[in-house]
Amino acid sequence: MSDLAAFRRAAHAAVDWVGDYLAGIERHPVFPRVRPGEIRARLPAHPPETAESWDTILGDLDRVVLPGITHWQSPMFFGYFPANASGPAILGDLISSGLGVQAMMWATSPAATELETHVLDWMVDLLALPDRFRSTGRGGGVIQDTASSASLVAMLAARERKTGFETNRTGLKGTLTAYSSSQAHSSIEKAAGIAGIGREHLRLVAVDQAYAMRAGALEEAIRADLAAGHTPFFVCATVGTTSSTAIDPVRAIGEICRRYGLWLHVDAAHAGSAAVCPEFRWIHEGLELADSYCFNPHKWLLTNFDCDCFYVADRAALIETLSIRPEYLRNQPTESGAVFDYRDWGIALGRRFRALKLWFVIRAYGAEGLRKHVRNGVALAQEFAGWVKTDSRFELCAPVPLNLVCFRLKAGDEANERLRDALNASGRMYLIHTRLDGKVVLRMAIGGTYTERRHVERAWVLIRETAAGLPRLG
Amino acid sequence: MSDLAAFRRAAHAAVDWVGDYLAGIERHPVFPRVRPGEIRARLPAHPPETAESWDTILGDLDRVVLPGITHWQSPMFFGYFPANASGPAILGDLISSGLGVQAMMWATSPAATELETHVLDWMVDLLALPDRFRSTGRGGGVIQDTASSASLVAMLAARERKTGFETNRTGLKGTLTAYSSSQAHSSIEKAAGIAGIGREHLRLVAVDQAYAMRAGALEEAIRADLAAGHTPFFVCATVGTTSSTAIDPVRAIGEICRRYGLWLHVDAAHAGSAAVCPEFRWIHEGLELADSYCFNPHKWLLTNFDCDCFYVADRAALIETLSIRPEYLRNQPTESGAVFDYRDWGIALGRRFRALKLWFVIRAYGAEGLRKHVRNGVALAQEFAGWVKTDSRFELCAPVPLNLVCFRLKAGDEANERLRDALNASGRMYLIHTRLDGKVVLRMAIGGTYTERRHVERAWVLIRETAAGLPRLG
B117 contacts in A (CB within 8 Å)?
40
Check which CATH number belongs to the domain holding A19 and give it.
Answer: 1.20.1340.10
CB neighbour class for B152 (10 Å; exposed up to 12, middle 13-18, buried from 19):
buried
β-bridge pairing A394-396 and A404-409: antiparallel
pLDDT for residue B474 is more than 60: no
CATH number reported for the structural domain that contains residue B128 in this entry: 3.40.640.10
CB pair distance less than 8 Å for B171 and A196: yes
- The shortest CB-CB distance from A198 to any of B169, B243, B435 is to B169
Is the residue at B231 inside a domain? Answer: yes
d(CA B311, CA B129): 10
Query: Which chain B positions have a beta carbon within 8 Å of A342's beta carbon?
Result: none
Residues A47 and A186 in one domain: no
Within a domain: B330:
yes
Q: Is the domain of A327 the same as that of A289?
A: yes
In a domain, B241, yes or no: yes
Of the residues A324, A359, A394, the one at which a domain ends: A359
**Domain check: are A38 and A174 in the same one?**
no
- Encoded amino acid at A450, one letter: Y
For residues A101 and B3, which has the higher predicted lDDT (pLDDT)?
A: A101
B168 to A193: CB separation less than 8 angstroms, yes or no: yes
Q: Do residue A64 and residue A137 come from a single domain?
A: no
* Residue A435 within any structural domain of the chain: no
In a domain, B449, yes or no: no
Per-residue confidence (pLDDT) for residue B410, from 0 to 100: 97
pLDDT recorded at residue A474: 46
Last residue of a domain, one of A359, A374, A395: A359
**Burial class of residue B366 (count of CB atoms within 10 Å of its CB; 0-12, 13-18, 19+):** middle
Is the pLDDT assigned to residue B83 strictly greater than 80?
Answer: yes
Q: Minimum mean pLDDT among B31-35, B58-62, B162-166, B470-474: which range?
A: B470-474
Residue of B nearest to A116 (CA): B40
Give me the total of CB pairs closer than 8 Å, taking one residue from chain A and one from chain B.
Answer: 478
The answer to whether residue B425 neighbours chain A at the CB level (below 8 Å) is no
Does residue A199 share a domain with residue A100?
A: yes
Closest CA to A215 of A192, A190, A245, A235: A235
Q: What is the pLDDT of residues B188-246, one digit of tens each?
A: 999 999 999 999 999 999 999 999 999 999 999 999 999 999 999 999 999 999 999 99
Average pLDDT over residues B88-96: 97
Residue A239 DSSP label: B
Q: Provide, as residue numbers in chain B, all residues whose Cβ is less than 8 Å from the Cβ of A83.
A: 100-102, 350
Q: Which region among B57-61, B79-83, B336-340, B423-427 has the lowest average model confidence (pLDDT)? A: B336-340
User: How much is the pLDDT for A2?
Assistant: 58
**Is the domain of A136 the same as that of A279?**
yes
Q: Which residue of A has its CA nearest to B173?
A: A173
Check whether residue A127 and residue A22 sit in a common domain: no
Say yes or no: A147 and A17 in one domain: no
B209 burial (CB, 10 Å; 0-12 / 13-18 / 19+) is: exposed
| Chain A residues touching B39 at Cβ < 8 A | 110-111, 114-115
Give residues 25 to 84 of A whose Cβ lies within 8 Å of B. 31-32, 34, 36-40, 43, 46-52, 54, 56-57, 61, 64-73, 80, 83-84
Decide if B15 is inside a domain: no
Min mean pLDDT across A463-472, B93-102, B438-447 is at A463-472
Is residue B119 situated within a structural domain? yes
3-class secondary structure, B140: strand
The angle subtended at Cα B390 by Cα B386 and Cα B395, nearest 5°, is: 80
Q: How far apart are CA A61 and CA A14, in angstroms?
A: 10
A228 touches chain B (CB under 8 A): no
B415: closest CA of chain A, how far (Å): 16
CA distance A452 to A435: 28
**pLDDT digit string, tens, across residues B132-190:** 999 999 999 999 999 999 999 999 999 999 999 999 999 999 999 999 999 999 999 99
> In this structure, how many other beta carbons lie within 10 angstroms of the beta carbon of residue B50?
10
Sequence-ordered list of residues with C-beta below 8 angstroms from that of B407, at least 6 positions apart, any chain: B385, B388, B394, B395, B396, B397, B441, B442, B444
Contact at CB, A363 and B57, closer than 8 angstroms: yes
Q: Considering only A244-253, A266-275, B78-87, B327-336, which range has the smallest mean pLDDT? A: B327-336
Exposed, middle or buried, A164 (CB in 10 Å: 0-12/13-18/19+)? Answer: exposed
Binning chain B into helix, strand and coil, the percentages to the nearest 5 are: 50, 15, 35
Q: Are residues A65 and A103 in the same domain?
A: no
> What string of pLDDT tens digits covers the 474 residues of chain A?
558 899 999 999 999 999 999 999 999 999 999 999 999 999 999 999 999 999 999 999 999 999 999 999 999 999 999 999 999 999 999 999 999 999 999 999 999 999 999 999 999 999 999 999 999 999 999 999 999 999 999 999 999 999 999 999 999 999 999 999 999 999 999 999 999 999 999 999 999 999 999 999 999 999 999 999 999 999 999 999 999 999 999 999 999 999 999 999 999 999 999 999 999 999 999 999 999 999 999 999 999 999 999 999 999 999 999 998 777 778 888 877 789 999 999 999 999 999 999 999 999 999 999 999 999 999 999 999 999 999 999 999 999 999 999 999 999 999 999 999 999 999 999 999 999 999 999 999 999 999 999 999 999 999 999 999 988 654
> A115 and A56, same structural domain?
no
CB contact residues (below 8 A), chain A span 164-193, against chain B? 167-172, 175-176, 185-187, 189-190, 193
Q: Flag whether residue B422 sits within 8 Å of chain A, measured between CB atoms.
A: no
Looking at the structure, tell me whether residues A122 and A45 fall in a common domain. no
Number of structural domains chain A divides into? 2
The per-residue pLDDT for B332 is 83
Nearest Cα to B270, choosing from B404, B368, B87?
B404
pLDDT at A1: 55
Q: Please give the Cα distance from A355 to A135 (Å, whole number).
A: 15
pLDDT > 70 fraction of chain B, expressed in percent and rounded: 99
Tens digits of per-residue pLDDT, A151-200?
A: 999 999 999 999 999 999 999 999 999 999 999 999 999 999 999 999 99
Q: Is residue A272 part of a domain?
A: yes
Which pLDDT score is estimated for A133? 98
A211 by Cβ neighbours in 10 Å (0-12 / 13-18 / 19+) ranks as buried
Do A23 and A135 fall into the same domain?
no
For chain A, say whether B396 makes contact (Cβ under 8 Å): no
Distance in angstroms (rounded) separating the CA atoms of residues A179 and B196: 18
| A293 vs B: CB within 8 A | no
Element (H, E) at B144: strand B140-144
Predicted confidence band of residue B2 (pLDDT cuts 50, 70, 90): low
CA–CA dist A261, A234 (Å, integer): 9
What is the distance between the alpha carbons of residues B391 and B409, in angstroms, rounded to a whole number?
A: 10
Contact (CB, 8 A) for A197 and A159: yes
DSSP A27-47: GS-SS----TTHHHHTS-SS-
Domain span at residue B198 reads: 93-359
Cβ(A30)–Cβ(A77) under 8 Å?
yes
Probe site for chain A from B40, B175, B323 (most A CB atoms < 10 A): B40
